[in-house]
A and B are shown apart, each in its own frame.
Chain A
Amino acid sequence: MDAPVPHPTLFLLGASHQTAPLALREKLSLNQERAAAFTTRLQQLPGVRECALLNTCNRVEVYGVSADLPTLASIRAAFCEITGCTLAELDGACLQLANGEVIAHLFEVASGLDSQIVGETEILGQVKAAYAAAQVRRLTGPVLNRVFQKAFQAAKHVRTHTAIGTGQISIATVAVDLAEKIFGSLEEIKILVVGAGEIGVKTVQSFQSRGARSITVASRTLAKAEVTAAQAGGWAASIADLPETLAAADVVTCSTSAPGAVITAVMTATAMHRRPSLPLFLIDLALPRDIEPAAGKLPNVYLYNLDDLAEIAEENMAQRKAEVAGCRAILAERTVALWHQVAPYLHAQVPFAGTDGSAAGTKDPRPAAPPSAAAHPPAPPP
């Protein structure tokens, strides 16, 4: 009986929040050193022709081109060796895809469709970083170069032509979006942070990321306010001065642990009397609530509490999920087209790594020139 002919395959091996519970993901996660060691091992495996490692907090995935099926078993073994997990654990959580499925998966990952928070954009940067790292170590070739670059284009297309990325989905960013609906640019607005809690600080950071500069932190203890203000690059104030500082603020975030209202409707009305034509955005992030609901009924005052913000975030998330089917349809077309372009190159490759185990990153392990023109067809058109 003839031995099976080695069949080069575009493969994906990995685990993510879709396939593995948190506890196992912790075990499978790769820190910088482990990731480097694993990459070196991949480079040394004779059957691996191309590879790239995508390593984020929610996923560890190896994309590559293997000469034959046993190579995949070697990769699994190497991964278990590096992480210390058992083969059984890995098999229980491992996602293994081949050829067109790999392209479809990478397209979805890069577009944020496969993310825990659907439509998030951070993953695209992480995929780009993974690809760049693989390029630096010369681990990619015509197949992965093509697949990754097309994945970036597909992600951009989906993001531009669908509503997958619209609407914020965290409390802090929803609040910032709302502030933009009230004030437009946030560069000139004055933010008052009442209470030096973590959620208040995070909200301020979100405002700062959109250009807000003027921050005042008010707390029961001035010392605590000063510490938080120093972190945020703002000013400290005592909560006793709240009536004064409230009149000067455009956005107020409240997150104290006070049992009752810190900002009353009367206090707000008095502040608004001094700046009637300027809008005031009150964000109540505390439980029990810090701001009397009646304050939100005043003209030019917009009051949002935790439930309001969470509801908007949920609506946005539901809207994003509703877009997933449309995004997948767009990506499916591109996947088929790309697979037809990439498939011929799978059979025309040579391994980048020799069996001598030359150290990755120290020299280019691939042959300097293709052995023959026939074996290396010209790069596909961009």
Chain B
Amino acid sequence: MLPLFTDRFFIWAGALLYLAGFIAGCATLVRRVPPDRAQTMLNTLLVGGLLLQMSGLYLRGAATGGCPLGNKFEIVQFVAWSAMVLYFVVGPAFRVSLLGLFTAGYAAVLALVSLLIPAWDAMRGEKLFGNNPWVELHASLAVFSYGVFGILALTSLMHLLQNFSLKQKQLNGLFWFLPSIKALDQINFRLLATGLVILSFSLGVGATWFCQDIKSVDSTKLLATAGVWLAYFIVLLLRWRGRLYSNRFAWVCIVLSLLAMLSLGPVNASRHATHPMTVLAAP
């Protein structure tokens, strides 16, 4: 393969297409073109971005012989990829107007930030999963669930914006094209449940191996992951019992998503403490 077409090249190209999708989506909104009419162009850009990003991640995975989750850069890229994959599942199923635009912005920010911080990709953990496909599945599902929670944060943000527009009677521009409050509420609940199920399954798989080799898991990682799971579980319980709803529920989902993303730092660092690191060529 030509030196130009490295994994980072594809990931850069994918990130730029996400950004292009976001900018194009915003432009159509400014021109007051209904989002459904601009959907084809947006989806084309996002599919292109997804394929390019996936190619980059595939090259990384092929080079290391495992799921590309070896450092912070790869984890964040995987979260962005998961969110985009989920958009193509959730979008058509729920017909959530503007979700493509929001997801494009979210994935572009995650992908570009991780590309622009070289330190995140300076080193990468070796044999993090010990050639164990179950541990790999555990890790990839856990990170995928963070992608689900990322989409949940986006739909929660849409809920807050829609609620603001209806309360303040500001119904122009972007606000007019947002989905209904009730639809967003239902989607949020389903995304929360989906994310939690995936994370629970991931933790279940991880726990099976953790019990066999208790030294393999750092306590920081365990606490951070269990904390995220517990927090989302409590939120689901409160939402289900009708104790947490509307704006508060949306705010909690956004804050939790940010905390979950921040928890990836200590989780990643703790893995590196127990596994050898490889210094990568300067990106």
Q: What 8 pairs between A and B have smallest CB-CB spacing? A: A277-B245, A184-B180, A184-B183, A300-B246, A182-B181, A277-B242, A183-B182, A302-B166
Which residues of B sit under 8 angstroms from A304, Cβ to Cβ? 169
**A308 beta carbon closer than 8 Å to chain B:** yes
Residue among B166, B178, B182, B245 facing the most chain A CB atoms (10 A cut-off):
B182
How far, in whole Å, are A116 and B183 apart by their CA atoms in the complex?
Answer: 36
Which residues of A, 131-178, contact B by the 8 Å Cβ criterion?
A: 163, 166-167, 178
The answer on a CB contact under 8 Å between B179 and A184 is: yes
B242 A279 Cβ-Cβ under 8 A:
no
Cα of A312 to Cα of B32 in the assembled complex, Å: 17
Q: Are A277 and B185 in contact (CB under 8 A)?
A: yes
Interface range for A: 20 to 34
Q: Is the CB of A182 within 8 A of B246?
A: no
Q: Is the CB of A181 within 8 A of B167?
A: no
Interface residue SS majority, chain B: helix
Q: Is the CB of B166 within 8 A of A178?
A: yes
Bound state CA distance, A178 and B169, in angstroms? 10
Instruction: Let me know if B246 and A277 touch, CB within 8 A.
Output: yes
Chain B nearest CB from A376 CB (Å) reads: 42
Near B by CB (< 8 A), chain A positions 183-207 give: 183-184
CB–CB B172/A181 < 8 A = no
Alpha-carbon gap, A138 to B142, bound state (A): 72
User: A310 → chain B, closest Cβ, in Å?
Assistant: 11
A180 interface residue, CB < 8 Å from B? Answer: yes
Q: Measured between alpha carbons, how far is A279 from B245 in the docked complex, in Å?
A: 10
Quick check: A279 and B169 within 8 Å, CB to CB?
no
Shortest Cβ gap from B172 to chain A (Å): 7
Q: How far is the CB of A318 from chain B (nearest CB, A)?
A: 11
A217-241 interface (Cβ within 8 A of B): none
Provide the bound-state CA to CA distance between A315 and B171, in Å: 10
Kindly state the separation between the CA atoms of A300 and B166 in the bound complex, as whole angstroms: 10
Mark contacts of B1-38 with chain A using CB atoms, 8 A cut-off: 1 yes-contact digit, 0 otherwise: 00000000000000000000000000000001010000
A182 x B180 contact (CB < 8 A): yes
Q: Is B114 on the interface with A (CB-CB < 8 A)? A: no
With A178-B166, A302-B166 as given contacts, are A276 and B242 in contact (CB-CB < 8 Å)? Answer: yes
Q: Which residues of B contact A279 (CB under 8 A)?
A: 181-182, 246
Which of A178, A300, A312 counts the most B-chain CB atoms under 10 A from its CB? A300
Whether B242 lies near A182 (C-beta < 8 A) is no
Is B162 among interface residues, defined by CB-CB distance under 8 A? yes
Q: Is there contact, CB below 8 Å, between B172 and A315?
A: yes
Assess whether A299 is interfacial by the CB under 8 Å rule. Answer: yes
Instruction: Decide if A299 touches B181 in the complex (CB within 8 Å).
Output: no
A181 touches B246 (CB 8 A): no
How far, in Å, is B270 (CB) from chain A's closest CB? 38
CB-based contact B246/A299 at 8 Å: yes
* Distance between B30 CB and nearest chain A CB, rounded to angstroms: 12
Q: How far is the CA of A63 from the CA of B179 in the complex (A)?
A: 44
Nearest CB in chain A: distance from B207 CB, A: 33
- Those of B232-283 within 8 Å (CB) of chain A: 239, 242, 245-248
* Assembled-state Cα–Cα distance A166/B169 (Å): 17
Interface string of B154-182 (1 = CB under 8 A from A): 00000000100111010110001011111
Residues of A within 8 A of B180 (CB): 180-184
The yes or no answer to A91 lying at the interface (CB within 8 A) is no
Residue A122 lies at the interface, judged by CB distance under 8 Å to chain B:
no
Q: Within 8 Å of chain B (Cβ to Cβ): is A81?
A: no
A338 to chain B, nearest CB (A): 26
**Which A283-327 residues sit within 8 Å CB-CB of chain B?**
296, 299-300, 302, 304, 308, 311-312, 315
- In the complex, 11 of the A-B residue pairs with CB atoms within 8 angstroms, ordered by the A residue number, are A178-B171, A181-B166, A181-B180, A182-B181, A183-B180, A184-B179, A276-B245, A299-B246, A302-B167, A312-B169, A312-B171
**Minimum distance in angstroms from B42 CB to a CB of chain A:** 18
Given A277-B242, A308-B169: A299 touches B247 (CB 8 Å cut-off): yes
Knowing A163-B32, A277-B246, A300-B245 are in contact, say whether A181-B169 is a contact too (CB < 8 A): no
Set of chain A residues within 8 Å of B166, measured between Cβ atoms: 178, 181-182, 302
Please give the distance in Å from A279's CB to the nearest CB on chain B. Answer: 5
A-side contacts of B245, CB under 8 Å: 276-277, 299-300
Contact A181 B162, beta carbon cutoff 8 Å: yes
> With contacts A178-B171, A277-B242, A302-B167 known, what are 13 further pairs, Cβ within 8 A?
A166-B32, A180-B180, A181-B166, A182-B180, A182-B181, A183-B180, A183-B182, A276-B242, A277-B245, A299-B245, A302-B166, A312-B169, A315-B172
**Which residues of B have CB within 8 Å of A277?**
185, 239, 242, 245-246
Residues of A within 8 A of B32 (CB): 163, 166
Cα(A308)–Cα(B171), bound, Å: 11
Residues of A near B183 (CB, < 8 A) are 184
Minimum Cβ distance to chain B for residue A164 (Å) = 11
Q: How far is the CB of A170 from chain B (nearest CB, A)?
A: 16
Cβ < 8 Å to B, chain A residues 259-280: 276-277, 279
Max chain A Cβ within 10 angstroms of own Cβ: one of B34, B171, B248: B171
CB <8 Å contact, B182 and A184: yes
- Chain B residues contacting A302 (CB-CB under 8 Å) are 166-167
What is the distance, in angstroms, from A281's C-beta to the closest C-beta of chain B?
9
